[in-house]
Chain A
Amino acid sequence: MKALLIFSFLIVSVLGLNSCTTVIDAKLDTGPTELSVDGTITDQPGSQTIRLTQTAAYFDNSQPSAATSATVTVSDNMGKTYSFSDPDNDGYYVWQPTAKDTLGRIGRTYQLNITYQGETYKASSKMNKVPPIDSIIFVKRKLNPLSKNEGYRAEFYAIDIPNEVDNYRVKFFRNGEFQNKPRNIITTQDGGFGGSNNGVTDGLVFIAPIRRSINPDSLYVPNDVVRVELGSLPAEALTFWQQLRTQITNGGLFATPPTNVPTNILNTNPNGRKATGFFIASAIRTRTAAVTDANIRVRPD
């Protein structure tokens, strides 16, 4: 919705008014340092990583300090426990599979346990189902109606799982490079915008704005290789990602009140130090396609 308003606001510029943004100096207070958890575990083969860091002053532009010497385990509701360790002392806590073992299983609920600086933190997350990506196609397009530059707009097709509320995150990679700008944080409920329209797009092909969300700022060029990952999310993780995107792109006339993104990392001692971040269990399906004749379609829209 906000995009539509921004579009309309562009009209103001057409009328000869000009708004402007300027980077300014601001003096900010700094709150207490907290533990921050960046942890998504998947059903994919291979190792799984949970990153622990410390929060910092807002203008501290260095790499975040690692939270080291923590004890990190993940256990599932079938009684299995997986131990994560930080051999490099860099805050990246890794579980290494033995043989062909994988950690995540669809349908199981995972609990994260962290002991850090005398405090114990817990979080839990359920690994939900995810549908496959059926196809990725490309259509020749101008970058925008005013532009002369042409390229290929990618579109992926997937069908939402019917008769239940499903939440997903979409990630995409151009020639192996993860596209991770704030506007590339794509989440969807039932393949639609979700949030309040409970069940409207249930069981449908993902709606066009989501299908076409896998494009970088410039369009793709012939022979680009595009990989799309579709990951399931529990409902609270959908909210987390939506609010994270809102908070890091929040400005202009129609900004919403700045607010903390939610966290599911809870200190077992309610009076103990708080933590931020999120622990997410996500099942992932991927598909890769190249901008080649076989994948290029000709369509009016």
Chain B
Amino acid sequence: MGNSKGQTANSLERSPAKTVHAGYTVSGYIKDAANGEGLIGVSVYVKETGTGAVTNSYGFFAVTVPPGTYNLVISYVGYARQTKTVDLTERNVRLDLELSQEGKQLQEVVVSTSREDDNVKNIEMSVNKIDVKTLKRIPALLGEVDVIRSIQLLPGVSTVGEGATGFNVRGGSIDQNLVLLDEAPIYNSSHLFGFFSVFNPDAVKDVKLIKGGIPSNYGGRISSILDVRLKEGNAKKAELNGGIGLIFSRLSYERPLFKGKGSFIVAARRSYADVLAQPFLNKDLKGAKFYFYDLTAKGNYRINDKNTVFLSGYLGRDVFGSDFGFNWGNATISARWNHVFSDRLFLNTTAYYSNYDYSLNTDLKQKSPDDFFRTDSRIVNYSVKPDFSLFLGKNTITFGGQAIIHDFQPGTATAASSGAVRSFGVANKHALESALYIGNEQQFTPKLQLQYGLRYSLFNYRGPGEAYTFQTDVPFGTRREVVTTVAYRGSDVIKTYGNWEPRFSAKYDLSPNSSLKLSYNRLAQYIHLISNTTASTPLDVWTTSTNNIKPQIADQIAGGYFKNFGRSNGTGSEFEASVEVYYKWLQNQIDYIDGASLILNKYLEGDLLSGKGRAYGAEFFVKRNTGVVNGWVSYTLAKTERQVDGINNSNWYPTRFDKRHVLTTVLLFDPPNAKRWNFSATFTYASGTPGTFPTGRFEYDGHVTPIYEARNNYRIPAYHRLDLAATLQGRKRAGKRKDDNWVFSVYNVYARKNAFSVYFQPNTDNPRVTEAIRYSVFATLIPSVTYNFKF
């Protein structure tokens, strides 16, 4: 939401006579002159008072000042700065503005934050933003620009390994990230396991990752918020974008609606390996399916100065199969209404629907009606979420609430054996998650800015359904058998949890270009991903909290020092740097008994264990914003551990994604005398993740079986990789609107066989000989070429 910018000592010099009047407000929307997109995070600075604001997620801002005439400086990295004189002596003023991009945009690549010296001056900490322009230049696997893979280049973000779904933030598991696409949650952010993410880069406008100091308007997950905002569509002229890569081909179309009062964008992607392979498939594989696609669309309509509505949708699916079929996908719809009540009160109301489902069928072609297995699973959410922002000069108050209906269908199955058909599965789970919050961002003294808030979340696990109780007197780490089953009706509440979630951040300016920041937050999470494999699979089910599964809770403190230096080019400092440290405590972390049965298990809760976690670390980040070579270097030193009664003799052990050192470098190179070429490189180094290695063996019926003494007691070899990319701009032809480029990239340039895991197995030919086997997802370099065009 809106952030009031640092006030300076000037505000103390106001005339005492005029302080009886609270002042007047200038407010409005700031948009991109080229396409009418609302700009997020634009700085609006009042020269005379040194106060200001930044635009919110919808491009709206409001600044309140004592009566008078003021000069406003509106600036945004990569856009030409504008100065406006506004007369606020007698009344509030509405100011809607459009900013034009600076001409040499390709040379002035925005690396992340968008406001001038935003990292120092904004109270936000532990936040990273990636501009889509930068995203598109980072060398990508098979040339597919990818949001999730790119954020793994940021400090504090890691993954269990290449190809694994999702990402881990500051020691959190993958289900602890709230992945929002225009405010609707995405449950599985990947296509083809973790190789590609579901966000179509042609439709994405802004990506923001919040790892700490999470404000009170966010809740529901305990590790991070990945807030992805879609483009609104070009409101000035029709535009066609597309690309042909090795995996996907992409096409998007956007245009104004209702004489510029609205616009829309529709973007689609589909993989086409199956289409190319079809002629080569033999009779048995004819009709084999293996593809994935997604469709992203958004429209907006500006009813009047006070009301704007948005409608966004996403539909994506992965489909595999010939005789046997397997498919999964997400669908979301979110509708939003921006309403400006007054110059000081802004409301956004979001209503969304989100669905994730998968289904599996062993007999797609119905060749064997007597013997088959079919199952499906579904998560549906409906939610309403009003968010108010009240702009009061030194205070920006945000308040609102959210109600989410969770309708989980963990899985039903139909199986037939020799003609006998049986159905079974897990009863549906229902829950209502609601929250109220209030927060304030306050300029406490000229140098000290505070953001504090409180969120109360309430979770009702509801009928209709069955609730179970389990044995309590079993040894740690073993299955608890069900003791009682109670049936509940639709109106019954089975279990209620409530949590107060305090949030606090402070920023103290040490100098105009350096600041200290501190934050604390508590977050609660009521839904959990049940996954016991190294990489999560699309078959993993989510469950709500129940009478047996307590909500996950995280407390995090973080502190940081932020400094900008180097010459300023008028839109920010040349370098920005930060050091952050954090410590995080996690409660009620889910783990699993040995041999746990997770799929289609009615009594799943009896196979779950509950433990605690802790994670701490330091993150170093230096970024060069301008110049022929720009980009960033990030280094993370971290540790993340768990303790679960019944695992590892109840001792603390490192999590599977614990990496002591992670270094990432992103370099963007714009040779001054090569007009059509630019280059980029990324390098990643990460300590090996832990592995459980055997310390003995015994033979049973001819099988050499490993003996273990501790979990995650060894480390697999370190990971490092270099990727390169080059972009060649097409020649501009006079009078043609066409704009095109070729992107050449090489992933894993020196073809390192990075270990995903090391596992131990008997040799297939000589089972008495045991081997340590390094498993690499990519064992070679992967070149690719992508052609992009725009009309």
A residues lining the B interface (CB < 8 Å) = 1, 4-5, 7-9, 11-12, 14-26, 28-31, 33-34, 36, 38, 40, 53, 55-64, 142, 145-146, 157, 180-182, 185, 191-192, 195-198, 200-201, 204-208, 239, 242-244, 246-262, 276-278, 300-301
Contacts and interface: CB of A to CB of B under 8 A. Distances in A.
B762 A182 contact: yes
B424 A55 contact: no
A21 B773 contact: yes
Given A182-B767, A254-B535, A258-B691, 4 more contacts: A26-B758, A28-B695, A250-B759, A258-B692
Contacts of A257: 532, 592, 656, 692, 711
Given A55-B697, A201-B415, A61 B282 contact: no
Nearest to A182: B703
Interface in B748-771: 753, 756-762, 764, 767-771
B371 A208 contact: yes
Contacts of B706: 58, 247-248, 258
Interface string B411-454: 00101011010101000000000000000000000000000000
A105 to B, nearest CB: 23
Contacts of A197: 413, 424, 600-601
Contacts of A206: 417
Nearest to B606: A196
B95 interface: no
Given A20-B779, A277-B698, A181 B764 contact: yes
B699 A38 contact: yes
A33 B320 CA distance: 48
A53 to B, nearest CB: 6
B705 interface: yes
B709 interface: yes
B164 A253 contact: yes
B273 interface: yes
Given A8-B320, A204-B417, A58 B759 contact: no
A300 B695 contact: no
B790 interface: no
10 contacts: A16-B246, A26-B693, A28-B693, A204-B418, A204-B422, A244-B703, A252-B759, A252-B775, A253-B777, A257-B532
A192 B709 CA distance: 33
B417 A205 contact: yes
A249 B51 CA distance: 64
B602 A253 contact: no
A207 B417 contact: yes
B322, B413, B774, most chain A CB atoms within 10 A: B774
B8 interface: no
A18 B424 contact: no
Given A9-B193, A53-B699, A300-B368, A18 B778 contact: yes
B290 A26 contact: no
Given A61-B769, A61-B770, A248-B762, A11 B708 contact: no
A248 B778 contact: no
B371 A200 contact: no
B290 A56 contact: no
B787 interface: no
Contact of A1 (B193, B599, B702, B773): B599
B757 A23 contact: no
A253 B695 contact: no
B67 interface: no
Contact of A196 (B192, B602, B699): B602
Nearest to B418: A205
B122 to A, nearest CB: 39
Contacts of A242: 595
B583 to A, nearest CB: 26
B242 interface: no
Contact of A26 (B594, B761, B772): B772
A254 B764 CA distance: 20
Given A7-B324, A254-B533, A260-B707, A18 B696 contact: no
A251 B709 contact: no
B285 interface: yes
B701 interface: yes
Interface string B362-373: 010001100101
B393 to A, nearest CB: 54
Contact of A63 (B768, B773, B776): B768
B163 interface: yes
Contacts of B782: 17
A46 to B, nearest CB: 18
B353 interface: no
B597 interface: yes
A146 B285 contact: yes
Contacts of A252: 756-757, 759, 775
B594 A53 contact: no
B698 A53 contact: yes
Nearest to A249: B761
A55 B757 contact: no
B759 A31 contact: no
Nearest to B195: A12
A204 B422 CA distance: 10
Contact of B595 (A25, A142, A205, A239): A239
A300 B367 contact: yes
Contacts of B774: 21-24
B702 to A, nearest CB: 5
A250 B417 CA distance: 29
Interface string B529-545: 00011110101000000
Given A20-B779, A25-B772, A180 B539 contact: no
Contacts of A36: 698-700
Nearest to B756: A253
B408 interface: no
A285 to B, nearest CB: 19
A142 B284 contact: yes
Contacts of A26: 693, 714, 758, 760, 772
Given A12-B192, A61-B768, A64-B699, A253 B163 contact: yes
A214 to B, nearest CB: 16
Contact of A18 (B192, B539, B780): B780
B54 interface: no
A23 B769 CA distance: 12
B360 interface: yes
A9 B708 CA distance: 28
A1 B362 CA distance: 11
A259 B594 contact: yes
B698 A14 contact: no
A160 B777 CA distance: 41
